[in-house]
Structure 1
């Protein structure tokens, strides 16, 4: 079952506003509590303001249907808060009964496939009645409106939407794999340059592409998938900037990080690199970005496609 909470989350992101909404009579209208500008393409492909829309007609999305759309929205200070285009994924939003006059649900029911729209929706009502009673965040003023920019791609039945979602996920996975393959070539060259510049010796490489140097051999059992391993580590970028360390992590009290090896609970480069070590070993792991966090940005200190270096010590190996 498709649910609103699954497809529409008030997540913060950076951004790009919907573009291309041009035309005559470029003004807002208000019908049944909904304030809007809705645009459709004319025969020449130019977007024109449709003017006032009869929300009770049969041309818009209906309750029970699913709308695939691109959406961004901003607060009263004109700060962009969300943009679906950043995630490379359109939103799939089931149309439900309108919980208040001037709601996002009404906006969807006023649009046809191919339409673009700008909507002003009361923030208090939106968070209280559409976002499950969540309190307003500090960057949204009480009593203010949020401005939504929406481009409707498709309007489908729930069954057709689920089939489209599956196809879209498969295409996204294929695209991500192709980008990762290309990025691996780029990262591999950078890692080899790093190895040469830092005069690292006895460098080895796993089948998946992790470079490792055993700086102190261990005498204990070799780590294997399914083992519970304890690892001390220091994580750095190739420029030497440290981003994480088990030695001074207040959450763990400076204890080694413990996890089941080969179970996907850490980045792939760790699952692959740690299994090359014996208990007591110290090593350097050089991990290409597709085996680390890939295209994900993890805040301003972890850009997308970051190559990572970890200095690790395999403290313990348990069955």
Structure 2
């Protein structure tokens, strides 16, 4: 999280709202070539252009501190390349020594907590000296990237890490509440699916995976810690096949091998496959919280997708 690479997340979003009043709203340029506007709140709680920042001003963020902020940036064609607000949470960026004249690090060092700013940074220098990456094709050489930054907090690294941990814990609790609600919604849909597809003999695991053993196996029972090999076909509840190990060119049609019960696969697999013996063929219907949950994995597998797997437990290597 506390990394420069956070700048490169490819998300499309809207702009930050920056207000100005009274003072002339214009850009200024530092001696190092950084073009900027910085806004601060006045006594009425409105943002106004702070004006020219003196080189001797030391009120901004310092090297070693962490700025918690919302950030959006655009290329010269005014296309939004990243906006943290689409993720519904701020990002944390540690303040580094400037990597070139007019750098983004310099921009952060000009801001105090509560400030908003607009900064124009040379794209060639930014990618070559800060990101250590080649300039991507959607950014023209010799142009600037325009950054819109709202600095919420400026803290020590320890304080920022503590805040980050607290934020993660809160997010996990919120996600758990949503998952508990979603699994009830999914369970109703699965029951309707089982009925319309005449899938008699379905059983349900403790967590909510529905499974049916179509062909019982005669080999050893799978258990957590065993290495298992599984052939599978993945489909949505509307019958569209999305993936199959039988014709996967990446594996040459070989079964998928993993260690059971170690979190190497979705939770629904870890739980349901332990109900099977080697040689079994079964149908699993996995509610979304026990599959990929709120992850959007493309048009075929949007967030909160219920998944059907027709599987064959090919091999159980007891450990």
**TM beyond 0.5:** yes
How far residue 55 of structure 1 moved from its aligned partner, in angstroms, is 4.5
Task: Pick closer, same or farther for the CA change 1:144–1:313 going to 2, 3 Å.
Answer: same
Within 2, Cα distance between the matches of 1:69 and 1:237?
39
Task: Pick closer, same or farther for the CA change 1:67–1:94 going to 2, 3 Å.
Answer: same
Is there any run of 5+ residues in structure 2 with no aligned partner, and where?
Answer: none
Helix, strand or coil: the match of 1:266? coil
Counterpart in the other structure of 1:214: 213
Task: Pick closer, same or farther for the CA change 1:196–1:34 going to 2, 3 Å.
Answer: same
Helix, strand or coil: the match of 1:275? helix
Counterpart in the other structure of 1:104: 104
2:253 equivalent to 1:277: no
Query: Contact 1:55–1:110 at 8 Å: present in 2 too?
Result: no
Counterpart in the other structure of 2:226: 227
Query: Contact 1:55–1:109 at 8 Å: present in 2 too?
Result: no
Counterpart in the other structure of 1:312: 311
| TM-score normalised by the chain length of structure 2 | 0.93
Counterpart in the other structure of 1:17: 15
Within 2, Cα distance between the matches of 1:291 and 1:16?
33
Task: Pick closer, same or farther for the CA change 1:302–1:144 going to 2, 3 Å.
Answer: farther
Counterpart in the other structure of 2:46: 46
Aligned pairs, number = 315
How far residue 15 of structure 1 moved from its aligned partner, in angstroms, is 2.1
Within 2, Cα distance between the matches of 1:135 and 1:240?
43
Helix, strand or coil: the match of 2:8? coil
For 1:269-288, what per-residue CA distance to the aligned partner results, in whole angstroms no more than 9, with x for missing partners? 11111111111111111111
Within 1, Cα distance between the matches of 2:141 and 2:155?
35
How far residue 49 of structure 1 moved from its aligned partner, in angstroms, is 2.1
Counterpart in the other structure of 2:204: 205
Helix, strand or coil: the match of 1:105? helix
Within 1, Cα distance between the matches of 2:223 and 2:139?
50
Query: Contact 1:71–1:84 at 8 Å: present in 2 too?
Result: yes
Helix, strand or coil: the match of 1:8? helix
Counterpart in the other structure of 1:164: 163
Over 4 Å off, 4+ runs? none
For 1:68-88, what per-residue CA distance to the aligned partner results, in whole angstroms no more than 9, with x for missing partners? 111122222222222223334
Query: Contact 2:7–2:82 at 8 Å: present in 1 too?
Result: no
Query: Contact 1:123–1:143 at 8 Å: present in 2 too?
Result: yes
Q: 1:127-146 to 2 correspondence within 5 Å?
A: 127-131=127-131, 133-146=132-145
